[in-house]
Amino acid sequence: MRWTKLLLTPILLAFLGCELTDGVFENPLDREVASSKGISPPALVFYPDVVTTTAGGSAATSVYALDLTGVGMAEIAINYNQNKVSVGSVAKGEFFQGGNQPFFHYEDDGDSGLLTIYVGYLGPDGNAVSGTGNIANIVFNTLSAGQSEVSISNSSRILDPDAKSITLNGYGKGTIDAQ
């Protein structure tokens, strides 16, 4: 009996000594949060959608598919302020898995501030993916202090394996805050 008191006392003290706080949930992958920002699925969003860094530092974010169904290919156009940030790197995310090896390519037009990402399955043994997931990981380098918006253009296209367009209801925006 005494050993149970010795064991339970620290556990109770730790539990009772904890301060519970109201969490702030700002996850753009949450449907309620996305809806509050005017985005309803299916959509393309950034996560995180706000990145704080130092002037001259880097800011990592990812492009996510939000509740997409039957995706075979994607062409994602991202606008950014080329006077505030530059594209440091772009890498394929985990959304396109299974089937044959997906094609992944990007083009960065730093003069106009347009990054275009191409990803999809090629050939007759291609596949389709559905759900919510990370399509691409992007690292932006900040060029000066201040806030800069990045946005997924409504010219972005999501296609099924037969190259038929899938309608998107939302195109996410993000903020890079270089302090």
Per-residue pLDDT of the chain (179 residues; tens, 9 = 90+): 554 454 444 444 444 444 443 444 455 566 666 666 677 899 999 999 999 999 999 999 999 999 999 999 999 999 999 999 999 999 999 999 876 788 999 999 999 999 999 999 876 666 889 999 999 999 999 999 999 999 999 999 999 988 899 999 999 999 999 99
**Residue 1: its pLDDT value, please?**
54
pTM: 0.81
For residue 171, tell me if it sits in a domain: yes
Are 86 and 78 in contact, with CB atoms under 8 Å apart?
Answer: no
Q: Can you give the pLDDT at residue 28?
A: 52
pLDDT given at position 114: 98
Class of residue 96 by CB neighbours under 10 A (exposed 0-12, middle 13-18, buried 19+): buried
The total domain count for the chain is 1
Domain presence at residue 3? no
95 lies in a domain? yes
Instruction: Decide if 58 is inside a domain.
Output: yes
54 within some domain: yes
Q: What pLDDT does residue 27 have? A: 58
- Tokens for 142, please give them: 């900040």
Residue 17 lies in a domain: no
The verdict on residue 79 lying in a domain is: yes
The domain that contains 64 carries what CATH number?
Answer: 2.60.40.680
Pairing of strands 50-53, 146-152: unpaired
